[in-house]
A and B are shown apart, each in its own frame.
Chain A
Amino acid sequence: MTIDGTEIGRIDSTAAQHMTRDDLSVFIETPDLTAAPGDERDTLVLSMGPQHPSTHGVLRVMLRLDGETVLRAEPEIGFLHTGIEKQCENLFWQQAITVVERADYLAPLLNGLCYVLAAERLLGIKDIPPRAQVLRVMFAELTRIASHLVWLGTHAMDLGAQSIFMYAFEMRERILDIMEFVTGARMHQSWFRVGGLAIDVPKGFLAKMDDFIDRFPVRLTDIRRILEKNVIIMDRLVGVGAINARDAIAWGLTGPNLRASGIGYDVRKAYPYSGYEQYDFEVCTASAGDCYARFVVRLDEMHQAWRLIKQARERFPDGPVAIADRKIIPPPKTEIQHSMEALIHHFKLVSSGFNVPEGHLYQAVESPRGELGMYVTSAGGNKPWRVRWRPPSFYSLQALKALAPGNLVADVVAIIGSLDPVFGEVDR
């Protein structure tokens, strides 16, 4: 074909044949972000993300590939940074709970629990009513199951099992219904407060819990039967992304990721809070440290969480759900209507919060992703001076640098899924 006498679209095949790879590389602009001295020239840099479906958030992984094998992986984070830690410093202690819960958006109540426990310890509150303690455990474990179900559904979908997503989300929907019934919100409930809970559970709560307790093991068994010995799941997960105990500890892995490498460290057992020492549950471990071990540990954990919920349901005591200290917890509406003092307390709490004595401490809870810690500093005022997160996903995602090399590109998807990072928490 010619235009104005010039022939176009013709390829000079002889010239192309004689071009070597080195000549070609001049024309290829390589984003050399993960290049290191000594890297082979014959490798490829692949940018996975920031909008890749398997990253379950906004994550970019720069991969240096030799064929299909990963040589180096460098996760790039920060796309979801919302300055939660800065915002906490500018809100009253009680107000900050709403912001705190937005970090790990799959387990909001556990963020809130960690923050609330830290504030209570700084205030010296030790007499949280038993009903509040039991409800805290119950809802922490419900949150754990809901979070693991999201992980399970999306992880299985990454590996090509589409239907499990529906099984998992159907069960999660039941949990979110309970959450909505009790707290009025499906996510970001802000139900745990410094000094107890925001409101008591409504009538009909126990019937809903009993229904859930009956249904969940059946559905969990279904899911396990479909997935656990599934050939495709085994092929994709067994032996992939293995990390031994020494490296897992060095990279700061906690929670299911660490327990899958054979270290039975669980904050609920080691440094119990909210009365976890009174419950009978097992720390689930595996020894292989690969994606499959992490998979099985999380499935086991869901069963243990169900056992904890069942025990909490059995003991479920009567009584108040918050302490009686009116300097911390606002009085009930009925009291405000006829007591001037109660009205003043309410007004003071809403307009200027409460002061927390000077000090600093580290409080940790076992979130679905591992040890969620907060290093809280108080300068004595009505706002936290500093709330430093110890985000478990931040550290487990960092370990991708050690886990991905040597595996195939497709396995990176499986490894990210098995580490279960949540980017609200990674980036805060």
Chain B
Amino acid sequence: MADATALRAQTAALLPKLTLTLGADFLEAVSSEDMDELALLPGGLPAAAELLRANGFAMLLDIGCTDHLPLTPRFEVSYHFLKFDLDADAPDGRMNSSARPQEAGSAFVPARLRLRVFPDDLDPHVPSLARLWPSADWAEREVWDLFGVRFDGHPDLRRILMPDDWEGHPLRKDYPLRGLDRRFAPGGRTGAVPPVVTK
């Protein structure tokens, strides 16, 4: 791709600014093979998010989480961003004329950036971005549901994939593949599950 280096230049220019903004919350900035990335502590996330928004990263592509259990810090919450140069004056958010594709059928290439946030091992919680990007709403609920990482300031932080009365956070590495040895019976019998019979 012709403008791959130009894209990297956009994010590379941003990394020193982010580093300065974060101060003590900054961990490291890496130019990975797939995109530029920044590792930080949860305290710096609101400031970093504001700066990214101000620099055109209008899409919060995804929020994911990884459990590195024997290692510490244990949890890594990963944020992927895409940069779209929206025209601030246009009410419907058209692209800036300079960034708009010139010919019909041609494509727009947004720059990518990743933030990796490392919350506390025992009481993991991260500031919520749901007020800045609406797409963060469900993504944060999913990370809470499956990993038990809380998002401070989330308007409606409850389970999304697992049943409401589920115990534990299934994607944690210390959660067994076959689930906890408990019966899921809302309003029914509780107690140990009969042993699974295998051939």
Q: Which of A383-403 contact B (CB under 8 A)?
A: 385-386, 388, 390, 394-395, 398, 401-402
Q: Which residue of A lies closest to B172 (CB)?
A: A86
Chain B residues near A362 (CB, 8 Å)?
34-35, 80, 112, 114
Is the CB–CB distance between B93 and A247 below 8 Å? Answer: yes
Question: When A251-B135, A388-B64 are in contact, do A245 and B80 touch as well, CB less than 8 Å?
Answer: no
| B160 within 8 Å of A (CB atoms) | yes
| A90 within 8 Å of B (CB atoms) | yes
Question: When A269-B107, A363-B34 are in contact, do A244 and B92 touch as well, CB less than 8 Å?
Answer: yes
User: Taking the nearest CB of chain B, how far is it from the CB of A419, in angstroms?
Assistant: 14
Main secondary structure of the interface of B (DSSP, over half): loop
Q: Which of A363-420 contact B (CB under 8 A)?
A: 363, 371, 373, 375, 377, 379, 385-386, 388, 390, 394-395, 398, 401-402
Q: Which residue of B lies closest to A252 (CB)?
A: B135
Q: Which residue of A lies closest to B84 (CB)?
A: A249
Q: In the complex, which of the residues B34, B93, B108, B133 contacts A252, with contact meaning CB atoms closer than 8 Å?
A: B133
Is the CB–CB distance between B66 and A251 below 8 Å? Answer: no
Chain B residues near A78 (CB, 8 Å)?
159-163
Chain B residues near A375 (CB, 8 Å)?
62, 64, 66, 78, 80
Is the CB–CB distance between A390 and B105 below 8 Å? Answer: no
| A234 within 8 Å of B (CB atoms) | no
Is the CB–CB distance between B60 and A81 below 8 Å? Answer: no
User: Taking the nearest CB of chain A, how far is it from the CB of B28, in angstroms?
Assistant: 14
Q: How many residues of A contact B (CB 8 A)?
A: 52
Give the bracket for the number of chain B residues in contact with chain A.
Answer: 35 or more
| B184 within 8 Å of A (CB atoms) | no
Cα A78 to Cα B141 in complex, Å, equals 12
Chain A residues near B101 (CB, 8 Å)?
264
Is the CB–CB distance between B86 and A264 below 8 Å? Answer: no
User: Taking the nearest CB of chain A, how far is it from the CB of B76, in angstroms?
Assistant: 8
| B15 within 8 Å of A (CB atoms) | no
Q: Which of B79-98 contact A (CB under 8 A)?
A: 80, 82, 84, 86, 91-95
Cα A226 to Cα B133 in complex, Å, equals 40
Is the CB–CB distance between A427 and B133 below 8 Å? Answer: no
Write out, one digit per residue, whether chain A residues 258-287 have a CB within 8 A of any chain B CB (1) or not (0).
000011111001111000010000111100
Q: Which residue of A lies closest to B101 (CB)?
A: A264
Q: A245-B95, A270-B107, A390-B80 are in contact. List 9 more A-B contacts (CB 8 A).
A: A77-B161, A78-B159, A85-B146, A245-B92, A250-B59, A250-B134, A263-B95, A385-B68, A394-B138
- Could you pull out 20 A-B pairs where Cβ atoms are within 8 angstroms? A77-B160, A81-B162, A86-B170, A90-B177, A245-B94, A249-B86, A262-B95, A265-B108, A269-B106, A271-B112, A363-B34, A373-B80, A375-B64, A375-B66, A388-B65, A390-B62, A394-B138, A398-B135, A401-B134, A427-B161
* 7 tightest Cβ-Cβ pairs between the two chains A and B: A246-B93, A252-B135, A282-B105, A269-B107, A388-B64, A244-B92, A390-B62
